[in-house]
């Protein structure tokens, strides 16, 4: 135990991982107020990160805890969120916004993320497996993300939920293209046959992303069932951002600020037991995309760059508010 306590780690006020430090240094930081009873601590032998006030070796260094407020008579008691497992290497979340509960914590293995992305691209080329490949990719990403307090997210979506509005438009496009190749070159006939092609394309480009966004939000949960989300933004709002993003390419760099603004719009329209804010700025997105593109041009760094960029994007999503669940 003494050896373990010589290698303590803790998360500072900015939720950056500090350590290893000895137990004596932890005690000094507690007395100075740098570590409070809610500061997360871990040392070898502990299964999870735990608040310092709940660690036997340090609990006695704090004063008597303030008793919790009793709910009004007749009010339904709130259920405290369960504390999930958080690996030391993935525990450092970025600082939250004013009044925020902290940032989401990604834990993407380099090769796991890379080969699954390649498999998704390969499967999508065959159209039919695309919905199931997409659901599997979403599940992998989401279940490698934790809430700021360590609760792992879950994803209950399946390819059968989305196959119709993914495969349907693609099959319409394929059939129309084949018909146009073999139809006689009558302009009116080609126009009439081409209308389903146009409608299927518009549906695939503008409507399907909205349906997918709603589906993903509704299927995201947590191991303890404390996360219930829904997307409340309008389809016209999303279409507006989809149109503005390619238009902003004219400015060469303006797309990065549009992307950041679109991220804030999406997060603010996710509601339920939690609310979210996107903290990334246009400048941060711009220079990261440039570095990603330059490094990926050498091919070998691609898996690491993919993990780096996606981890940063996730860490910019901050939990802005938590609405307690009631029994």
Average pLDDT score over residue span 8-37: 81
**With pLDDT > 90 as the criterion, what percentage of the chain qualifies?**
45
Q: What pLDDT, on a 0 to 100 scale, did the predictor assign at position 189?
A: 61
Look at residue 188 and tell me whether its pLDDT is greater than 70: no
The answer to whether the beta carbons of residues 25 and 32 sit under 8 Å apart is no
How confident is residue 185, by pLDDT bands cut at 50, 70 and 90?
A: low
Count, residues in the chain: 327
| Residue whose token pair is 């992998």 | 140
- pTM value? 0.66
pLDDT for the residue 200: 84
Least confident of 130-134, 308-312, 321-325: 321-325
Residue 187 has pLDDT above 80, yes or no: no
pLDDT of residue 272: 87
- The CA-atom distances, in angstroms, between 54 and each of 3, 49, 131, 179 are 20, 10, 45, 69
* SS3 assignment for 35-103: CCCCCEEECCCCCCCEEHHHCHHHHCCCCCCCCCCCCCCCCCCECCCCCCCCCHHHCCCCCCCCCCCCE
Q: How many CB atoms lie within 10 A of CB 31?
A: 11
Output 105 or 225, whichever has higher pLDDT.
105
Q: Residue 246: what pLDDT? A: 93
State the pLDDT at residue 95: 35
What's the average model confidence in pLDDT over 98-127? 84
Rounded percentage of the chain residues whose pLDDT exceeds 70: 80
| pLDDT of amino acid 4 | 56
pLDDT at residue 201 tops 90: no
Query: pLDDT tens, 69-105?
Result: 454 444 444 333 333 334 333 333 333 333 345 899 9
The residues that bridge with 152 in the sheet, in sequence order, are: 146
Taken in order of first residue, the domains within the chain and their CATH numbers are 2-59 (3.30.1490), 94-107+248-327 (no CATH), 110-143+153-222 (no CATH)
Q: Per-residue confidence at 186, pLDDT binned at 50, 70, 90?
A: low
Tell me the per-residue pLDDT of 136-157, one tens digit each, with 9 for 90 and over: 999 999 999 998 888 899 999 9
**pLDDT tens digits, residue range 253-299?**
999 999 999 999 999 999 888 889 999 999 999 999 999 999 999 99
């Amino acid at each position: 135990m003494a050896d373990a306590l010589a290698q303590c780690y803790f998360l500072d006020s900015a939720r950056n991982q500090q350590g290893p430090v000895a137990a004596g240094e932890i005690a000094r930081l507690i007395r100075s107020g740098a570590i409070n009873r809610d500061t997360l601590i871990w040392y070898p032998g502990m299964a999870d990160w735990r608040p310092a006030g709940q660690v036997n070796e340090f609990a006695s260094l704090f004063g008597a805890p303030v008793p919790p407020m009793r709910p009004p008579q007749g009010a339904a008691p709130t259920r405290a969120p369960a504390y999930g497992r958080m690996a030391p290497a993935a525990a450092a979340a970025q600082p939250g916004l004013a009044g925020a509960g902290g940032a989401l914590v990604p834990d993407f293995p380099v090769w796991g993320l890379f080969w699954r992305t390649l498999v998704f691209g390969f499967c999508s080329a065959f159209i039919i497996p695309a919905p199931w490949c997409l659901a599997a990719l979403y599940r992998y990403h989401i279940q490698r993300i934790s809430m700021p307090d360590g609760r792992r997210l879950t994803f209950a979506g399946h390819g059968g939920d989305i196959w119709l509005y993914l495969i349907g438009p693609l099959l319409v496009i394929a059939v129309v293209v084949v018909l146009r190749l073999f139809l006689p070159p009558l302009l009116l006939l080609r126009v009439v046959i081409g209308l389903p092609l146009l409608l299927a394309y518009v549906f695939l480009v503008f409507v399907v992303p909205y349906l997918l966004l709603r589906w993903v939000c509704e299927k995201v949960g947590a191991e303890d069932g404390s996360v219930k989300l829904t997307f409340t933004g309008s389809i016209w709002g999303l279409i507006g951002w989809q149109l503005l993003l390619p238009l902003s390419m004219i400015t060469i760099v303006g797309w990065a600020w549009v992307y950041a603004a679109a991220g804030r719009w999406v997060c603010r329209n996710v509601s339920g037991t939690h609310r979210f804010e996107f903290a990334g700025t246009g400048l941060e997105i711009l220079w990261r995309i440039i570095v990603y593109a330059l490094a990926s041009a050498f091919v070998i760094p691609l898996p690491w760059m993919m993990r780096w960029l996606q981890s940063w994007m996730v860490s910019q999503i901050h939990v802005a508010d938590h609405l307690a669940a009631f029994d």
